[in-house]
Amino acid sequence: WGKLMRPNPSLILFLLAVFSITAALYSINISEDYQRTTADDVIVFPRLNAKPESANVLLIETGGLKLKFKQNEDSVWIAEDKFDYPASYKLIQKVISQLADMRKIAVKTRMPSRFNQIGVEPYQQADANSVFVKLQGADGEILAESILGAQFRRNNIGIAEGTFIRHPKEQQAWLASGSIDIPSDLLSWLDTRILNVEANEIKKVKLWEKPGDTAVVVRSNDNGGFLYQNRDGIGYLDREVAKNLFESLTKLSFVDVWPRKTPEKWQSILYFEVEAYSGSTIAGQLFRSDNRKILQFSVKESALKNIGLRDVADTIAYSELNKWSYVIPSWQADRFLEGLKVIEGGLQ
């Protein structure tokens, strides 16, 4: 029958190449590290994206820190871990918005040994850089739940282009669009402003250390200066002293807060009463406790009607002022103490 046909070497190489490619594609397709789902424009949290306004509870956890924020019956976000003190409305709304807009960009690792490289390691670890975030509706429905990791920057510089994320019950990590800054301390989540009064809204300030030793500073109508009256008589107050005194109430903030209390060991430094051009009056007292300066306020109901609704979304409701003791920064306390110069006299 003649000689047997010898296999064509070129054909054999071609068939081997086809087989190798087919085997490789098959291997990739069945690999758990590969998903054919296109990551572009895939919403990470579709329930939150569909109804962000329904978010009612926010849980944050990282390392040993656990924080819980919720909306109360007045739709005000409060910190459950800080005596239900009002949280920062702007910050929480920003986090909700950023999570709702997140979209998957690219599939990343499934290997636990690499999670810490992109910051999606288990958040329960004491030294974890990851942050667990969870948003729920009033009915307990989970709207968003994820471990947030490192932010992605091209060539490790420039503006963040995305965030590495991973569901806590899944191995798959993703790169998602957007960057979210989650504060890791409770104070940063609170609405730390106490008052949001502009200095030019203040008409008059009364100051006293003890009853019967009162000084009054009032804005002059003629030249924009400040008049004072104390035990020495009446005169014009140094503009710098007046400026510090009036601005001591401008955008006043705190570094710690507790439910109102006045322990005996607190030393009273100064009483004050502020009258605005609107007719509203806010009274308060400044205390010293060790190295801390502490403020307490008394706001009349009539004042609440005038100023309580001025900017509810941006500052604590004024009706809440009577309920708290505020630790204020030293530099703000120093401004308050300018008032002592007026009381002590010798300004003429």
Query: pLDDT by residue (tens digit) across 25-73?
Result: 333 333 333 333 445 678 999 999 999 999 999 999 988 889 999 999 9
pLDDT of residue 29: 37
Q: What is the tally of helices (H) and strands (E) in the chain?
A: 7, 19
d(CA 332, CA 266): 18
Q: Distance of CA 165 to CAs 145, 186, 325, 328, Å?
A: 10, 23, 39, 37
Closest CA to 238 of 226, 246, 230: 226
In one-letter notation, the amino acid at residue 217 is V
pLDDT band at 241 (very low <50, low <70, confident <90, very high): confident
Do 213 and 231 form a contact (C-beta atoms < 8 A)? Answer: yes
Q: What is the CA radius of gyration of the chain?
A: 31
d(CA 260, CA 180): 34
Query: Beta-strand (E) ranges in 52-179?
Result: 55-62, 65-71, 77-79, 85-86, 103-107, 131-137, 142-152, 162-166, 173-177
d(CA 121, CA 40): 24
Q: What percent of the chain has pLDDT over 90?
A: 43
- In the predicted model, is pLDDT for residue 327 greater than 70? yes
pLDDT of residue 222: 64
Least confident of 130-144, 156-170, 291-305: 291-305
In this predicted model, what pLDDT tens digit does every residue of 186-234 receive, in sequence order? 999 998 988 877 888 888 999 888 877 888 999 887 666 888 888 888 8
pLDDT band at 262 (very low <50, low <70, confident <90, very high): confident
pTM of the model: 0.77
pLDDT band at 318 (very low <50, low <70, confident <90, very high): low
d(CA 205, CA 25): 79
In this predicted model, what pLDDT tens digit does every residue of 62-121 receive, in sequence order? 888 899 999 999 899 999 999 999 999 999 999 999 999 999 999 999 999 999 999 999
Do 254 and 194 form a contact (C-beta atoms < 8 A)? Answer: yes
User: Which helix or strand (DSSP H or E) is residue 336 part of?
Assistant: helix 330-336
Contacts of residue 176, defined as CB under 8 A and 6 or more positions apart, other chains included, come to 44, 102, 103, 104, 105, 162, 163, 164, 165
Structure tokens at 108: 């990343």
pLDDT of residue 268: 92
* 3-class SS of residue 339: helix
Within 44-145, residue ranges assigned H as helices are 46-50, 89-101
In one-letter notation, the amino acid at residue 259 is P
- In the predicted model, is pLDDT for residue 269 greater than 50? yes
Q: What is the mean pLDDT of residues 284-312?
A: 71
Q: Distance of CA 227 to CAs 71, 245, 276, 279, Å?
A: 46, 13, 16, 19
pLDDT of residue 18: 45
pLDDT of residue 39: 58
Chain center to CA of 293: 23
Chain mean pLDDT for the chain: 81
pLDDT of residue 305: 45
In one-letter notation, the amino acid at residue 196 is N
Share in percent of the chain as helix, strand, coil (round to 5): 25, 35, 40
Total count of residues recorded for the chain: 348
Do 320 and 191 form a contact (C-beta atoms < 8 A)? Answer: no
Q: What is the mean pLDDT of residues 274-285?
A: 86
pLDDT of residue 313: 39
Strand order, beta sheet including 173-177 = 42-43, 103-107, 173-177, 162-166, 142-152, 131-137, 55-62, 65-71, 77-79, 85-86
pLDDT band at 127 (very low <50, low <70, confident <90, very high): confident
